[in-house]
A and B are shown apart, each in its own frame.
Chain A
Amino acid sequence: MSTSYRTGSKDLSAWENLARKDLGSDPLESLNRQTPEGVPIKALYTAKDLEGIESLDTVPGFAPYTRGPRATMYTVKPWTIRQYAGFSTAEESNQFYRQNLAAGQMGLSIAFDLATHRGYDSDHPRVTGDVGKAGVAIDSVEDMKVLFDQIPLEKMSVSMTMNGAVIPILAAYIVAGEEQGVKPEQLSGTIQNDVLKEYMVRNTYIYPPEPSMRIVGDIIDFTARRMPRFNSISISGYHMQEAGANSAIELAFTLGDGIEYVRAAIARGLKVDEFAPRLSFFFAIGMNFYMEVAKLRAARTLWYKLMQQFEPKDPRSSMLRTHCQTSGYSLTEQDPYNNIIRTTIEAMASVFGGTQSLHTNSFDEAVSLPSNFSARLARNTQLIIQEETDICHVVDPFGGSYFMESLTQNLMNEAERILREVEEAGGMVKAIQQGLPKLKIEEAAARKQARIDSGQDVIVGVNKYQTKEESKFEVRDVDNTKVREQQVARLQAIRQSRDAARVKTTLEALEAGARANGNLLELALDCMRARATVGEVSDAMRRVFGEHRAPIQSVSAVYAAEYKMKSDFDDARKLIAAFADQEGRQPRILIAKLGQDGHDRGAKVIATGFADLGFDVDIGPLFQTPEEAVKQAIENDVHVIGISSQAAAHKTLVPRLIELLKQEGSTDIAVVVGGIIPQQDYEFLFQSGAAAVFGPGTPVPTAAVETLEAIKRMRKG
């Protein structure tokens, strides 16, 4: 049948004329945009844009899996609703899990506290402020058994976010299973076990990259032999996006990490089909709706292509399956109910992209752990998409869209370009050792912050349409001291009741295995059975492997380059220059990260932004104690200490630091705090002596000017 319609791809001039009328005086080109990924976006796509697309008109369940890993996708079985949670003690987390399972959640996803992540027992002096914060404290099998009390492990798929102390934690989980009467073969779930990204972002590593890669290999090896239903690794881009990476960087580095793990496993003698089907992925889904849909489609296609170099026979070996989580970075403290809407949009992008499981964030997670109420809303967001809408009835509904297919291809091209850079550097491990990926992510983060601060990227309620109305809601607060006391008591009980000789023998065997070629997970099982602690097992390996020390590098002049609202920026610079003239030197700030929280995006963005504005910036090392930070601040004679906190330890560590400054007679040093801090803690921090508190979304120039004011007040007072 012929029609009289003008076909767009053959002749666009008519459309262009119409568009010009709509545009008025602006040129047609003003409709074109460039995304941060470097992908061009036009206002209109036509059939012509489908030329040269590699995986057009494929079907789901078949290579290259652009349209989904399974043939029927959600039409037969929807994605798994898997909410990530954990806090304070094993008892409280267990209770929370059981409530959620009863209310429709399908799998568990365990968050551990930072002390556990870094392989410290709860009574270690370096972790005073971290125990029970941002996750559950686990010191031994006894805690793990409490955590899964009345949860049948042969039935429940369990995902564990653990990378640093992955050996003792996975071993404790397996032993907890054994003691429930469940064999390793019956366990199903995922361990994150993705240590490479820890060196780029998040920083919850313990050992240097090479022994850490061996640990990953040991786990892949053990699970390939003994745990056929368990995903040995969850290769994660999530934390890269949270740290500021754009979608192309996230995609490239995640798949690059994946390839590195495959090579490591093959190097130790495994065949690709023995382990590759159990590799899983984990991506962040942010507010760039189309881009995120395209990212998941591109990820599957590109993984398929990359895996062909290993010549897999089993189709599942090159089939990318992924978990997704909505972006925590996109949540705002200001006007927080907006976060429900953001999360819904992100959840839809994950679903249109074809995720296998999903965590939706709670609206209060910009400042705290979810309350029971906010956790219910988050879960219901997914249930509503699954059960009230018709979204699940069609597989890959965007397939064939001129725009989506073109975007998928362009994003994939950009990711391939970055991957070639990685290969030229000698692969991800080499690139990471040189610090290249970390710098690239930090640069993207500084640019992003500058775009937000100058209003180029709009965030409703933060840099546009702000409201004065305060939203009061209940926030979950963890009494860190109480949790710590409880954990310490339980540790003491274990150390008294266990067979000390057996603990010693098993730990020695582990240490010897670390020196030789023993499978560390297998050896750690004996330690955990004997009731060795997470800290003791980690220490046995520390003695052999040492600890990783991150070289701190930083980008400069990036923030200034991207900042487009010149006046704010210049005003701040002038104030700082005037201060410097009067003082005889630039204002000097120590940016400190206290405790075991390794999220350093905020600290890095502030460091580069403040330096671009004229501060002399000392960057403290990660995992500093308040004592160490005070020594550094005094020696460098800084005007102010800026504490960056993302993981809730501020209520313990900030007062401690201020107390130490007083003891040292350095009351002329001001203290400001920034990061994820609930509104209700502000007063507490001011009472403790903090001069200013900067919540999420504070523009860098504003923070700089207020910090300068805090210094001046200190001088007068």
Chain B
Amino acid sequence: MTIDIQALETALVSGDRRGLAKALTLIESRRADHRLLAGKLLSALYPRTGRATRIGITGSPGVGKSTFIEAMGRFFLDQGHKLAVLAIDPSSPRSHGSILGDKTRMEELSVDPRCFIRPSPSGLSLGGVARRTRECVLLCEAAGYDTIIIETVGVGQSETLVCSMVDAFLFLQLPNAGDQLQGIKKGILELADLVVVTKADGAFEQAARRALVDHEMALHYMQPDPDRMPVRVMLCSALEKKGLREVYDTLLGNLQTLQADGRLQKRRQAQREEWFESELQGQLMDLLWQDRSFKKDIQKLKGKVAQGIMSPTEAAQQVIAGVDLKRG
């Protein structure tokens, strides 16, 4: 199948849903020639990117991420925004397959013509997800979506990763935080711009209020980051549609302030630098893998390292010594 980059660009920019979908597939492709084409497409679209609000959302499984995104997303749509949701679901390391159910969990959003939802398999490397997700955000922006939500799987390294590509990072928390809070608060709370306690309704309302106080206490002990707005903790009920306006106002209000005083631009600059560096690393690795002796040496030395005959450091040095970087 040949891919006509020009046609794809035209379709995407004109707001054609199918065009955007096909472009995202191109970005996600593992084929080397597709990567080159994807690079061309991105360059062509680059001037049209950067104008959307990028929001990352995370929280442990069961916290009601999709329910929250459904309610929050509808709120955004009602305020006149165009919304794209990118969701990342884990791939099986054994079969490489995956089950992607996000649309299901965002039923109302998924049928709304103003909204584009795309769940993507994580693939097998964290670096791969990062690279692709960043590029996917750009494509959605070029296609005219002014708000992009990135939903992550849940716990683990992916948080740091998503945080490095968004303007605001929302951390969702269940009302029954308690002890749980102790373990996770440090790592993730440091990344969060906004903590939202979900399911603050019915029987959970009291617990939610307690969780709010707990989080505020925890945040109190943390060093404030001068480059960001103070972290707020808020209550929300997707079920009763409560707290949505407050989250929306806080989120966009903060971003306005940060933009006015230049801190948002600074954050994005830093993110672009980081992206550049990791892209360099990634492309360098791609290049190395194309080198035949590199591949061979790795296969050879892997066994020695595994058996403990050679130290990993020494093995790596040997492989690098054999690479001729001038070609490529």
Contacts and interface: CB of A to CB of B under 8 A. Distances in A.
Contact of B98 (A573, A616, A635): A616
Contacts of B116: 635
A640 to B, nearest CB: 14
A577 B17 CA distance: 28
A401 interface: no
B15 to A, nearest CB: 13
A576 B95 CA distance: 9
B266 to A, nearest CB: 34
B118 interface: yes
Give the one of A573, A580, A635, A665 with max B CB within 10 A: A635
B99 A628 contact: no
Interface stretch (A116-124, A157-165, A289-297, A550-558): A550-558
B110 A628 contact: yes
A549 B104 CA distance: 9
Interface of B is mostly: mixed
B92 A556 contact: yes
Contact of B103 (A556, A612, A615, A621): A621
Contacts of B104: 551-552, 619-621
Contacts of B220: none
A128 interface: no
Contacts of B119: 618, 636
Nearest to A611: B97
A607 interface: yes
B22 A637 contact: yes
A75 to B, nearest CB: 53
A616 B28 CA distance: 13
Interface stretch (B29-37, B208-216, B295-303): B29-37
A632 interface: yes
Contacts of B101: 552-554, 618-619
A560 B95 contact: yes
Interface in B109-131: 110-111, 116-119, 121
Given A584-B31, A611-B95, A621-B107, A635 B17 contact: yes
B306 to A, nearest CB: 24
A618 B101 CA distance: 6
Given A577-B96, A616-B100, A616-B121, A666 B111 contact: no
B100 A615 contact: no
Interface in B206-242: none
B177 to A, nearest CB: 19
Interface residues of A, number: 41
Contacts of B110: 621, 628, 631-632
B25 interface: yes
Interface string A537-563: 000000000000101111011001000
B24 A637 contact: yes
B185 interface: no
B5 interface: no
Contacts of B24: 637
Interface in B11-54: 17-18, 20-22, 24-25, 28-31, 34
A614 B100 contact: no
A664 interface: yes
Interface in A583-642: 583-586, 607-608, 610-621, 628, 631-632, 634-637
A619 B99 contact: yes
Contacts of A628: 110-111
A226 interface: no
A158 B232 CA distance: 60
Given A551-B105, A636-B100, A666-B18, A631 B94 contact: no
Given A621-B103, A637-B25, 15 more contacts: A549-B107, A552-B105, A580-B96, A584-B34, A585-B29, A586-B91, A612-B92, A612-B95, A612-B97, A613-B97, A615-B97, A616-B121, A620-B103, A628-B111, A635-B118
Interface of B: 1, 17-18, 20-22, 24-25, 28-31, 34, 91-92, 94-101, 103-105, 107, 110-111, 116-119, 121
7 contacts: A552-B101, A584-B29, A619-B100, A621-B104, A634-B17, A637-B22, A715-B1
